[in-house]
Chains A and B, each alone.
Chain A
Amino acid sequence: MEHLTAETLARLVDDAPSAEERAHLDGCATCSEELRAYEEQTRALGSLPELLPPQGDWNVLEARLRSEGLLRDPGLFARFGLTRTPAWMRMAASVLLFGVGMMSGAAWASGAPEAGGPLGAASVTDLDGAASAVRMAEQRYVDAMSRYRELLARNGEGAETVDPISRYAALEHLVLVSQAAVRQAPGDQFLNGFLASALAERDAAARLVSSGRDSWF
């Protein structure tokens, strides 16, 4: 009896057998077993896991993205269009941001965040845990900003001008509460970064107010 060829069996993983092929498979244990092996091989290929890129891959990519001008780290408020949004919305964003920062800082300081809490199930017991916690805090920060960005879009915001003095006042407030948070958790990188951004934004706003070059009045 002549067996089905390897390519035929491989094809039959996807295709229904012809009547002749069906008849052969019904009467040939060897070919039936071989077909099952092909099916198993195909299933296994479809279950191959994802692969982690090599360590340091992001650093190389980041350098390339920067060299091509595809990556930027603008000021905290400019990044999310806050210079062009109403004061009340900026204040809302400040509260949102600060809330995220405070929750992260509190969880960080406690060292034992609850599952589902600001830092998820990560525990800060070593350097890797600390790095992971920072990454999670950043992730939540990005998520919060993403939602805020969409809120702006849904409200048709984005081109409205603002009063620079109100903006300065809002930033000053944000700096003060950020400084208070950093005093409580001086080692918290997230809060320190947040404070640094707020300070930079506030100083820029102050320069704008003092220069008198703006056209908002």
Chain B
Amino acid sequence: MQRQTATTDAGLLALAAEGDARAIRTLYDRFSPRVFAVVRRIAGDDELAQDYAQEAWIRAIRALPTFRGDARFSTWLHRIAVNSALQALRRAETRRKREAPLPDDVPTSAPGGDVFLQRKLSRALDRLPEGMRRVLILHDVEGYTHEEIGDVLGITSGTSKSQLSKARAKMRQLLGALDQGDTEAWQVKDQGVESWSI
């Protein structure tokens, strides 16, 4: 069964690489939740995330003819999404408006688990300083190694490691503040305290 799925995927990718609308739609339906999730968490903003995800898909479809299957398609696409979001974020950094209110509801495709905790984590992630958030998302959420993070972000693995510890500590602080209704702690990011950018 696994072999058949892999075979089918190869044919699907071949069709998509030629621009076949149905094949591309099939890929979109299958992978868009994962693409949107990683891009949304990196962007920290719904509207930006939609733009970044679209850009990632455009890049991926454009590059599909060069996909040789050395990595799994999902891995390849995921890396494109991460790079696309990071690049877009860098371009937008100077003009990005962080004052926009956080969305009341972020739709999830898998509402199982502790939804309240997931919501808290998402809100805290959005409040992390930019650089910390990127490292934390790539490592703890997406499972990248420090070497891979270094490669993607252009930093050393040591820097990634130290920033991860800081990010986890900041997350813990933000989550604790959220539990206690401490709104002051939520201003940390906006005040630029401990800001760090890559």
Contacts and interface: CB of A to CB of B under 8 A. Distances in A.
Indicate, yes or no, whether A interacts with B.
Answer: yes
A188 B47 CA distance: 37
Interface stretch (B82-90, B94-102, B112-120, B148-156): B112-120
B22 interface: yes
Given A51-B108, A54-B46, A147 B36 contact: no
Contacts of A47: 113, 118
A39 to B, nearest CB: 10
A45 B121 contact: yes
B195 interface: no
Contacts of A146: 7-12, 14-15, 23
A60 B54 contact: yes
Interface in A23-52: 37-38, 41-42, 44-52
B72 interface: no
B8 A147 contact: yes
A52 B109 contact: yes
A98 B164 CA distance: 55
B53 interface: yes
26 contacts: A7-B169, A10-B166, A10-B168, A11-B165, A13-B168, A45-B121, A45-B140, A46-B141, A49-B109, A49-B113, A50-B110, A51-B109, A52-B108, A53-B32, A53-B33, A53-B50, A65-B57, A65-B58, A68-B62, A70-B19, A72-B19, A142-B12, A146-B15, A146-B23, A147-B11, A149-B15
B21 A48 contact: no
Contact of A142 (B19, B23, B36, B121): B23
A52 B165 CA distance: 30
For chain A, give the interface size range. 35 or more
B108 A145 contact: no
Contacts of A22: none
Contacts of B57: 61, 65
A79 interface: yes
Interface in B1-56: 7-12, 14-15, 18-26, 28-29, 32-37, 40-41, 46, 50, 53-54
B61 A48 contact: no
The 4 closest A-B CB pairs, nearest first, are A146-B11, A10-B168, A50-B33, A6-B169
B37 A49 contact: yes
Nearest to B10: A150
Contacts of B34: 50
Given A49-B112, A64-B54, 10 more contacts: A46-B141, A48-B121, A50-B108, A51-B33, A53-B53, A70-B62, A72-B19, A73-B21, A138-B26, A142-B26
A153 B13 CA distance: 14
B107 interface: yes
Q: Which of B20, B23, B106, B143 has the most CB atoms of chain A within a 10 A radius of its CB?
A: B20
A41 B166 CA distance: 14
Given A42-B140, A53-B50, A53-B53, A61 B33 contact: no
B198 to A, nearest CB: 18
Contacts of B58: 61, 64-65, 68, 70
Contacts of A51: 33, 36-37, 40, 106-109
A71 B110 CA distance: 30
Contact of B19 (A8, A38, A54, A71): A71
A184 B12 CA distance: 31
Contacts of A149: 11, 14-15
Q: Which of B112, B122, B168 has the most CB atoms of chain A within a 10 A radius of its CB?
A: B168
B53 A139 contact: no
